[in-house]
Structure formats: structure tokens, C-alpha cells
Amino acid sequence: MTTFSLQQTKVRLKSLADSLLRETWLTSWELIRITIPVTIVTKILEELGMIDTLSVILEPLMAVMGLPGQLGLVWATSMLTNMYGGIAVFAALAPGLDLTAAQVTVLCSAILIAHSLPMELSVSKRAGASLLPIALIRLLGAVVYCFILNRVCLAFGLWQGPAEMFFKATARSGDLLQWGLDQLQNLGMIVVIIFCIVLGMRLFRAIGVLGLLERLLAPVLPVFGMGRQAAPITVVGMIMGIGYGGALIIRETATGKMAREEVFNSMALMGLCHGLVEDTLLMAAIGGKIGGILWGRIIFSLIVTFVLVRVLRGLADRRISRGA
């Protein structure tokens, strides 16, 4: 290899490394801004005994999914902020709980289906889908899927061993210095996870994994109430996330090329099943099993959307026949 080629290779590698570190830092900064206040609030609630109180309130809902009530705070935080906020609470609470890998997978599935609701529901509304129905689909979908997943795991003995905890247990009440050091260690672990995910996403793009997912999903989506215009956009949203997919939907609806029903069907499917690569990798990194957080979620989302489309079409046909 010539000296010029070596220099070119070094420049490209340096550019790649800089790009990876920059993207990791930008993502990590968003995480840090949310994680630090969320972790402090969680500690205050714990010291005041409010975690136990909230656990009692949330226990009936979490019990439906086979989870302890304390994890309700993790899911609630994810819904109101984002997945990183939920991970911050999970890092603080999970090491003190006796969780199985199945329970962590169920929790991760709930977070994947229903998180960042204020932001993502606003995107859905701007895209032209009614806010309340999409919110109900995501919340009920999360509870129903997690109920089914928990029952399947128990029935077949799936992932019943202890969950592998990547986070350090919090210090005893009153030992604030050690608690702070533990949280810094947990935060460092999450930053490492983010770097690995950023690197993984680059590799997946380079070897064509994302393109393969698009080609596999696009041909089947017309069965779920989406035409030629909506299907490719929906696939992109499913893979890359609601923010990206919703922006494409908003652009297409502005042109009038997508029917109102297509927009609703697309946003409903995306609501149940989005961020298939990046978000899934994040949940896998904290202990979620791919069979539950990816394949099971895809199958459940397609079935729910298929049934939903048929029910809505049936109701529309009845309305038309009554009007006639």
C-alpha cells in the first residue's frame, strides 16, 4: 500500500472516529440532561418512602403484566420523558429487585411500545391521526402484549433465570456519597451502551441490514390498510422511529397523496412498532431478550393492525349501508 493510500485510510478512520464520538456525545448529552434530574427525584422519592406508595398505586396495572409495582415508575417515566429517563429509574431500582430475564423483557416491551408520549403523540396528531385513539392503541397495546408475553414466558419456561444486571446497586439510605458514585458508574455504563449502539447502527447501514428490513416489510404492508405511497414511509418509520417516520408522513399528507385512513393505519402500526433497530438494541443492552422485544413485538403489532383495519372497514361499511 502506498504512503498516499495509508494517509487516506488514516484520514477516513479519523473522520469515522470523530463522527462516532460526536454522535455518541450528542446522544449522551440528551441522556445526561434527563438522567441526572430523574435520578435525583427518584432518590428523593425513595428517601421519603414514596416509591413504596407509588408501587402500591401502580401494582394492579403492573401485576397484569407480571411485574412488581416498583417498575411502574420506570414505565411511567419512560412515557412522560423518554426511554433514557426510564433507564435512569431502572438503574436506580432494578438492582434491589429480584427480577427474571422474562420480567425485564416484559418491561422493555412496555417501554418500547409506549414511551415519549407527549412528543410522539404530537407528531401523530400533526401527521393527521387523532390523538386519543393512537394514545389508547399504544397504552392498551403495551398492556395486552406484555400480558400475553408474560403468560407465554411462564407457560413455556422462557427466560425464567435471574436477569443480568448491568447497573450497580444503589447505596444504603443516608450514604449519599456512595450513592452518587454508583449513579456516575451507571451513567458511564449507559454512555458505553450508546456508543455501541451508534457503532452498531453504522455497521447495519453499511452491510445493508436496514435496507433488507425495508424490503421484507414493504410488500406486506398493503394488507394492513396502506397503499403504495404509505407502505415505504411506514417501513422507514418502523425502523428509524416515529420522529423520522412521522416527519415523512406529515410531508406526504401535505401533498394530499395519502388518504386519512392510510395515515391513521400507518401511525397506529408505527405507534406499536417503531425504532426496530436502535430502540431494540438499547433495550437489549439492559437485558431485554430479542425474541420478546423484537420478533414478538412485530408479530403482535401486525396482527393488531390487521384486526383494527378490518374492524374500522366493517364499521365504515355499516355506516354507508345505513346511510343508503
DSSP state of 273: S
**Cα(100)–Cα(157) distance, integer angstroms:** 11
pLDDT digits over 157-185, tens only? 999 999 987 765 554 555 777 777 777 77
Position 14, amino acid: K
* pLDDT for position 169: 57
Better-predicted residue by pLDDT, 213 or 310: 310
DSSP track, 211-222:
HHHHHHHGGGGG
**What average pLDDT does this structure show over 264-289?**
90
pLDDT digits over 125-140, tens only? 888 888 899 999 999 9
* pLDDT for position 190: 73
Contact 243, 120 (CB under 8 A): yes
Which residues are paired to 162 by β-bridges?
100
Contact 299, 149 (CB under 8 A): no
**What average pLDDT does this structure show over 247-273?**
80
When mean pLDDT is compared over 103-107, 119-123, 266-270, 285-289, the highest value belongs to 103-107
pTM: 0.81
* pLDDT for position 167: 67
Residue 275, Ramachandran bin (φ over 0: left; ψ between -120 and 50: alpha; else beta) = left
* pLDDT for position 301: 95
Q: Where are the domains of the chain?
A: 20-319
Q: Estimate to the nearest angstrom the gap between the alpha carbon of 290 and the chain centroid.
A: 13
**Cα(270)–Cα(134) distance, integer angstroms:** 10
pLDDT of 47 strictly over 90: no
Task: Record the cell numbers describing residue 155, joined without a space.
Answer: 407457560
159-170 b/e (C-beta count within 10 Å ≥ 16 → b): beeebebbbbeb
Who contacts 81 (Cβ-Cβ below 8 Å, separation ≥6)? 34, 38, 116
Lowest mean pLDDT, pick from 72-81, 216-225, 314-323: 314-323
**What average pLDDT does this structure show over 95-110?**
94
